[in-house]
Amino acid sequence: MERLKQFLAVHRVTVILIGILGLLGVLGWLGIQNFISKPSEVEEIDLAFDAEGPYALAYPRRDGNALILNLKRTASYDSITYELAYTSKNEEVSVEGGKIKEDEGEGLGTIDRGVTGNIDTKDKKGEYEQEILFGTCSKNVCKYDKGVENGTLTLHIKKGNKAYRMITQWHLQKPDVALGNLSSGDGHLMYKFSVDRAALSNIGFSIINDLTGVPKLPSEREVLGKVYSLNIPVAKELPSGDVTLELAENPPKGTNLFKYGGGKWEELDTKVDGSKLSAKANGAGIFAVLVVK
């Protein structure tokens, strides 16, 4: 014991240095382990359109208080989250005991709303469906946002060490209010039809959103410009009408409007006027301008 004291007295500085070096070594090792175990941050890539990539179809609920999000071509992705952003009027409607009750208020101005969610992709399905409310529900009472018309849907998709962000625009309309003149949020797709007011009211709502991908294209064809999906509530039918799609520039010769529905693409008898293409269409579906490769 006496020898140890003498040793420490003589070599105090050396012992302190060894202790400090040992502590630094332990801290350095822990830091390296933490760096190795910490998942690397992946920078998101904005993906405006990929013909063979995932895409989302939006369907309105009959009462217009929710939309049904139908995600396609998702089997190869590890995780998918979404952000639904929209504006509503400064009014609310509550549903209680089956009765509709309007809250009192001035009803002036608009309010920014947002809904986020996660799609469980563990089972690696090729398609997912989820209902998203325009409002909130607690027990048997729901408060729905009023005057919802325009919004955006942002998809955050991860696959291995790659991450993508896809943003699409949607426009919700009541056909009887629009008098059969349905349009996309950017106004580049128009669908016009003429039926009586009662038939228009029976449709309920329509929604048009642009797509980030498309069903498998016909052979030797590729997409020119934006692709739009026009949908109405399930079990409802949209009358035949005139569809017009406007491009950013005049299309090359041999370009035509196509409609996807019933599991196949249909080439429409297309008229071209500058950058506008128009045709007759037999109801809702996916509309795209396709050109020969």
Domain count, the chain: 2
Cβ(189)–Cβ(229) below 8 Å: no
Domain co-membership, 94 together with 150: yes
Q: Name which of 150, 149, 152 is nearest 177 in CA terms.
A: 149
Q: How far apart are CA 270 and CA 285, in angstroms?
A: 16
- For β-strands 44-46 and 162-173, DSSP reports them as parallel
Phi, psi of 168 (to 5 degrees): -125, 160
Give the angle 169-173-174 at the CA atoms, nearest 5°: 165
Domain that holds residue 243: 44-292
CA dihedral for 57, 62, 64, 65, sign (positive or negative):
negative
Q: Hey, what's the torsion of the CAs at 286, 288, 292, 293, to 10 degrees?
A: -90
Specify the DSSP element, H or E, that contains 36. Answer: helix 12-37
Cβ(78)–Cβ(158) below 8 Å: yes
Domain co-membership, 159 together with 205: yes
Q: Name which of 208, 214, 246, 245 is nearest 229 in CA terms.
A: 208
- For β-strands 181-183 and 162-173, DSSP reports them as unpaired
Domain co-membership, 83 together with 23: no
Question: Is-above-0.75 flag for pTM?
Answer: yes
Domain co-membership, 65 together with 98: yes
Domain co-membership, 152 together with 217: yes
What is the full per-residue pLDDT of the chain (293 aa) written as tens digits? 665 455 545 556 565 656 666 666 656 666 655 544 444 567 888 888 999 988 999 999 999 999 999 999 988 888 889 999 999 987 544 445 444 444 444 445 788 998 898 887 778 888 889 899 998 888 888 899 999 999 999 999 898 888 989 999 999 999 999 999 999 999 999 999 999 989 999 999 999 999 999 999 999 999 999 999 999 998 899 999 999 999 999 999 989 999 999 999 999 999 999 999 999 999 999 999 999 98
Q: How far apart are CA 33 and CA 17, in angstroms?
A: 24
The pLDDT, as a whole number, for residue 109 is 74
Domain co-membership, 72 together with 123: yes
Domain co-membership, 123 together with 23: no
Residue indicated by tokens 């941050």: 41
Domain co-membership, 94 together with 189: yes
Domain co-membership, 6 together with 83: no
